[in-house]
């Protein structure tokens, strides 16, 4: 069977490199083109020693492909993606440019007008657990952010089933690779190592995505939610600790049963029976969820964790690709977590 | 002036060793005796190379001292402390044995009857910012746990001033040294490094302390609070992220002013104007607090951080000692944080 | 085609768990039995969340298998392996029990008499790059230690080709997982993290292995070598920095050509053109080698690195299994390194 | 007694900030001026939260001071230091600009002509253990690099006493803060964390300093030495592992006695009786040295470790200042190491 010819726009960031790593071992595709902003002209395998087998010169413009991944930052990504779509290439965009359905919201959070508001409504939000059918048919998939993937998966069963009421607190923690490969003091080793802090207290750009999707799934809306991200001294891994008042009369047993039911046939979301650790997902496409109840105060606590570069980015993008190609959803992404 | 003769019960754990490190450079005291459970007969300076100048043989029983610190675990600590008190020695206990005023609560959380309930009421809870006068006069000071110090200091101004209403969520994060020097899989390097998770979801033993003190200071009670601790891959450092609904009509400006006022004359609690990082407290006795408001949802968010072994344990114990001895409160504990 | 039925003796250590992880995705085998010392009776997938798909109860004794891996410590391993051999099971032993050909040397370094000196000569030393043919035919393969694999691969081309003379210094650095899952103060997070030191200055047990194999390959013998291991605050990864006087007249160009030639057809040993980093091998079965010359002093410097749990243990064991089974050597172990 | 008025040129790097931290608690000096390249106009205490008590606006030019520290990079440092000297200010330069006595060597390694070769001979090399008297009288002290301090102190006793012969191998390991606060991919958290590698294989700029000083102290010269630095995933700490052939007839007992004798009265260099760990020096001005003999091969192995930002930079600079001011050498730098 002929392999699908795929390309990666901006292979030189962490998400782009992770896409290359996964796609290189994927049995149904062939990476035929890759672009980069700073390293054009060099071989992928010389820029990234772990990708030594990738014999591909980094280009300024993507060559001829059947399907493209964009791993550019927002704004630059839309500029690269829109022409590809016009040429008939199916695209999975890992940036934020096509995640929000509402162009006004986009402008509010990203501080410039969206270049093509119509594309927003045509794009599928690439969270297979909520939008599998749309993704299968989509020309453009907006791959979710890492915090949204982790948080939405953690809260969707509770909201859909009306298990909670009132305000929700989401305290998220992320490894540093989530901040990307671009140099900044916040990612400088001696600043981050042996350190811990919250950031984006005035509002993180992943918040509107979380609200959009939770409002979409919730039995009651609008959803009210405070989201505070924290930076953790580790490379990969993300945990969202979610808190909300359990609706009176609901029990932990009921909660656990509804969560298990919600994800019963999902290949990558697992309800676990003890608090999950990010290391249990390292390098895998898994999202582990642990719902529990603080019975003393009637509070639902949901812990949700994943590898921010896999299920939180590149792995989920390949999961979406598998859906778009109509091949088994786990193809090429059934890696077991690396432990210890 | 004659130096106060102090002793350390169980110098061989992390809190005991940190006490020795601080007291060794303290101008008003002399460490004259130290005990240990496993290393008795050895010199402190050979067990701990960083304490090489401490020329003191570890004993089974504490020698003659004016004031003693106990760094034993709970239960063992009470057994060591009670006889010392009877001999007239003033004691600062860093264990949990005398922190809870209610012996029933103690039994509930520590699963054995308290050996001397009367001592509970006589003990001062060693948080100087709330109990300075009691501490000055006390024969026995119960040094608070690290999570309680961090959390109570973060929430006391809000509760005292009636700034919040409804349920409080405290999502705390701690470095691994908080779990002590005793070997366990949860502190094994390859398990903890590059990993992150919540624990004690069924209730952490620091919770009743937090509630006792917050109820003591709150304008309205009882305080309702969910507390979830997380383990972070770093050695020292603690952050409590606290969330509650801001009382309608209150503003961030008002909140910040009341927090600043509450700690105006405190030598070790600082209200900061951007989100604090644990590294800004490393090795120091500081607690940094950042109160802010998620105006979108009317939620008060307070970030409070400290070094769990200093302000969260040994440094605060020495601060209490200074108060008990009637010497300037900052004596010997005005170290600047180590950065980076 | 029927899958080979394999078993893992002591699946509960890091090497055992890594074997399970790799074998579970190996297309030619099926894990049918696993033993453990402390966790017998539990399911592998509940002891190790990252192995959740492994539905296998941990036994005291290995069941019926075609081929067994032993991941027990030395001494215990021989006791488990010898009966298996007698039953006709082919065995790959990851302990040190069958690595040394000389029973006297074994006794000297491991401080007890070897239980079956004859088995020593029958065992193949499982370094495919040096002993591929013996391994293919062997009933018992002694899988090399991590330091020996890293160091022997780094020095073999130089010694075989007579590139160096005089004494060799090997300064090795290892991640903490090499010390195993057994609790000890040396692997306690707060002791190891942000720390660095040398150990086993009186002689590490991996030294006789290194000497045995280098003497076997060297153009001149005996080889004189100082080996000093260091513990590095990271979980996985190993680097051997090797130093020796370059034979007069030899050039760096010549050195690099001979190294490239030595490993020309090897699937897992790569000569790289800049100093390798352990992260470039993480989770893969690769060994990266960089030979260079300090021309100012005529010193050959060879840097050799790998993942201590993969090429340094479990991955190499599976490579040996592939050879024993006569299937392509890279089957199931062609994972790309995880980066970042 | 009036305090000495000191200034810090470039307070905004790690060495500059560490100087400020130490000097702020130094009883004999007052920081009256500080410059910075990027943060001029801001308050030191707002740029560095750990220096909150430092109420000093960062200037472009240093104000009037009695003694100045320069923490600029080489070249820029000489440009700042020479005018200060002309104004009669005594200077301690932590850059490499005045360390090498030979201007030709300077040009060779730093690739530009030295701006004032005469100043080179007037400068004292600021390693108190070798040059105490010169330092006391100097107008300009060239504070040694971190690798040189660690390595020279480790090897000086052996070379002075003729304990070794032939080539020396120095395998050094450093925490990442040694690479400074300037952003670069080599210090990017996700690149360095959980990683390990050698660098500067073509010659590190600290090598000529090491050779200059060891040739100065050695009984036989020239000293032949290979120096290979490695980057370790930790913030602070440095270890040099030094290897050389022990002169026949010399014993370990003799070696240890001569080392102990060499540093008998030194306040900051300690000969230890087991392999030292960098954590035993964290935040202190100590250098710990462990000389031992690999008796199997007659090789002297010396392990030497320190905190690269303290004894390897700012702490040693203050030690030099104390000597220049004629006050007790340990004043303000007798901090105990932070453990764990």
The pLDDT tens digits for D166-222 are 999 999 999 999 999 999 999 999 999 999 999 999 999 999 999 999 999 999 999
Percentage of chain B beyond pLDDT 70 is 100
Answer whether residue A1 shows pLDDT above 80: no
Distance CA C100, CA D67 (A): 64
The predicted structure's pLDDT at residue C38: 83
Q: B105: exposed, middle or buried (C-beta count within 10 Å: 0-12, 13-18, 19+)?
A: middle
Residues of A in contact with D188 (CB under 8 A): 181, 183, 187-189
CA-closest candidate to residue B267, choices B332, B212, B218:
B332
Q: What pLDDT, on a 0 to 100 scale, did the predictor assign at position C5?
A: 98
CA B111 to chain A, closest CA, distance in angstroms equals: 18
Q: Would you list which residues of chain D are within 8 Å, Cβ to Cβ, of chain A?
A: 14, 175-177, 181, 183-185, 187-190, 192-194, 233-235
D307, closest residue in chain C (CA to CA): C195
Substitution target in D13, D14, D17, D49 with the highest count of B β-carbons within 10 Å is D49
Separation between Cα atoms, residue A283 and residue A306, nearest integer Å: 9
Assign B37 a pLDDT band (cuts: 50, 70, 90): confident
Q: Which of D146, D150, D287, D305 is catalytic?
A: D146
CA distance C75 to C84: 15
Closest CA to B6 of B337, B332, B340, B318: B318
Between chains, do A292 and B201 touch, taking CB under 8 Å as contact?
Answer: yes
Q: D189–A192: do the CB atoms touch at under 8 Å?
A: yes
Confidence of residue C110 (pLDDT cuts 50, 70, 90): very high
Mean pLDDT of chain A: 97
CB contact under 8 A, A50 and C177: no
**Strand residues in B15-154 grouped as ranges (E):** 29-34, 67-70, 90-93, 124-125, 140-142
Rounded to an integer, what distance in angstroms lies between the CA atom of residue D88 and that of residue C311? Answer: 62
Measured between alpha carbons, how far is D261 from A210 in angstroms, rounded to an integer?
67
**Is the CB of D340 less than 8 angstroms away from the CB of B25?**
no
Instruction: State the average pLDDT over residues C123-139.
Output: 98
A294: enclosing H helix or E strand: strand A287-294
Could you give all domains of chain B from N- to C-terminal order, each with its CATH number? Answer: 4-122 (3.40.50.720), 147-308 (3.30.360.10)
**Over residues A150-171, mean pLDDT:** 98
On chain A, the residues whose CB falls within 8 A of the CB of B276 are: 197
Q: What is the pLDDT of residues C246-275, one digit of tens each?
A: 999 999 999 999 999 999 999 999 999 999
Task: Tell me whether residues B338 and D338 touch, CB distance under 8 A.
Answer: yes
Cα–Cα distance for residue pair D98/D138, rounded to 1 Å: 13
Q: What is the mean pLDDT of residues D58-70?
A: 97
Active site residue D150: no
pLDDT at B271: 98
Question: Which of chain C's residues have a Cβ under 8 Å away from the Cβ of B192?
Answer: 189
Supply the residues of A annotated as catalytic: 146
DSSP run (H or E) holding C322: helix C315-325
Share of chain D above pLDDT 70, in %: 100
Cβ-Cβ pairs closer than 8 A, A with B, add up to 141
Put simply, the answer to whether B297 touches A196 (Cβ < 8 Å) is no
Q: In A, which residues are within 8 Å of D313 by CB distance?
A: none
Q: How many CB atoms lie within 10 A of CB D122?
A: 12
Q: What is the DSSP string of B22-54?
A: HHHT-TTEEEEEEB-SS-TTSBHHHH-GGGTT-
B222: preceding bond cis by omega (within 30 degrees): yes
Q: How far apart are CA A161 and CA A166, in angstroms?
A: 14
User: Are the CB atoms for C134 and C117 separated by under 8 Å?
Assistant: no
Q: How far is B5 from chain A (nearest CA, A)?
A: 35
CB contact under 8 A, D181 and A189: no
Residues of A in contact with D193 (CB under 8 A): 176, 189, 193, 233-235
Task: Check CB contact under 8 Å for B235 and C177.
Answer: no
At CA B37, angle to CA B36 and CA B38, rounded to 5? 105
pLDDT value at position D1? 72
pLDDT at position D23, please? 98
In this structure, what is the dihedral angle of CA atoms D130, D136, D138, D139, given to the nearest 10 degrees? 140
Q: Distance (Å) from the C-alpha of residue A220 to the closest C-alpha of chain C?
A: 35
C52 phi-psi bin (left φ>0, alpha ψ -120 to 50, beta other):
alpha
CB-nearest to B50 from D17, D194, D280 is D280
Max Cα distance, chain C (Å): 63
Judging contacts by C-beta atoms under 8 Å, the chain D residues touching residue A181 are 185, 188, 190
Q: Tally B–D CB contacts below 8 A.
A: 73
Please determine, for residue C196, whether its predicted confidence score (pLDDT) is greater than 90: yes
**CA distances in angstroms from D316 to A139, D28, D285, listed in the order given:** 63, 16, 7
Contact B69, B92 (CB under 8 A): yes
DSSP-assigned letters across all residues of B280-324: GGTTS--EEEEEEEETTTTEEEEEEEE-TTIIIIIHHHHHHHHHH
Query: How many angstroms separate the CA atoms of A255 and A273, rounded?
Result: 13
Contact across the interface for D183 and A184, Cβ inside 8 Å: yes
pLDDT in tens, C146-178: 999 999 999 999 999 999 999 999 999 999 999
Assign 3-state DSSP to chain D and report helix, strand, coil percentages, each to 5: 35, 25, 40
Q: Counting one residue from A and one from D, how many pairs have CB atoms under 8 Å apart? A: 54
Residues in chain D closer than 8 A to C171 (CB atoms): 169, 171, 241, 243
Q: Would you say C9 and C76 are in contact if contact means Cβ atoms under 8 Å apart?
A: no
């Amino acid at each position: 069977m002929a392999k699908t010819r795929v390309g990666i726009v901006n292979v030189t960031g962490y998400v782009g490199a992770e896409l290359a790593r996964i796609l290189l071992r994927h049995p149904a595709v062939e990476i035929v083109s890759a672009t980069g902003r700073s390293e054009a002209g060099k071989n992928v395998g010389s820029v990234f020693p772990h990708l030594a087998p990738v014999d591909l010169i980094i280009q300024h413009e993507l060559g001829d492909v059947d399907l493209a991944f964009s791993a550019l930052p927002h704004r630059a990504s839309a500029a690269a993606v829109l022409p590809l779509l016009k040429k008939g290439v199916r695209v999975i965009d890992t940036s934020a440019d096509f995640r929000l359905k509402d162009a006004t919201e986009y402008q509010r959070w990203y501080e410039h007008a969206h270049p093509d508001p119509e594309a927003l409504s045509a794009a599928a939000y690439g969270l297979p657990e909520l939008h599998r059918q749309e993704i299968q048919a989509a020309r453009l998939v907006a791959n979710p952010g890492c915090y949204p993937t982790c948080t939405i998966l953690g809260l969707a069963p509770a909201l859909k089933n009306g298990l909670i009421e009132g305000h929700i607190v989401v305290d998220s923690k992320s490894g540093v690779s989530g901040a990307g490969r671009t140099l900044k003091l916040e990612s400088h080793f001696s600043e981050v190592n042996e350190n811990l802090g919250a950031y984006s207290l005035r509002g993180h750009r992943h918040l509107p995505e979380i609200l959009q999707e939770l409002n979409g799934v919730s039995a009651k809306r609008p959803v009210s939610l405070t989201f505070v991200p924290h930076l953790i001294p580790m490379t990969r891994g993300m945990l969202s600790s979610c808190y909300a008042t359990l609706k009176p009369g609901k029990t932990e047993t009921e909660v656990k049963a509804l969560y298990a039911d919600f994800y019963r046939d999902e290949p990558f979301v697992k309800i676990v029976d003890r608090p999950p650790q990010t290391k249990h997902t390292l390098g895998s496409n898994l999202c582990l969820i642990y719902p529990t109840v603080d019975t003393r105060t009637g509070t639902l606590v949901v812990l949700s964790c994943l590898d921010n570069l896999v299920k939180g980015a590149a792995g989920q993008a390949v999961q979406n690709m598998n859906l778009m190609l109509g091949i088994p959803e786990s193809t090429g992404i059934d890696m077991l977590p690396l432990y210890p």
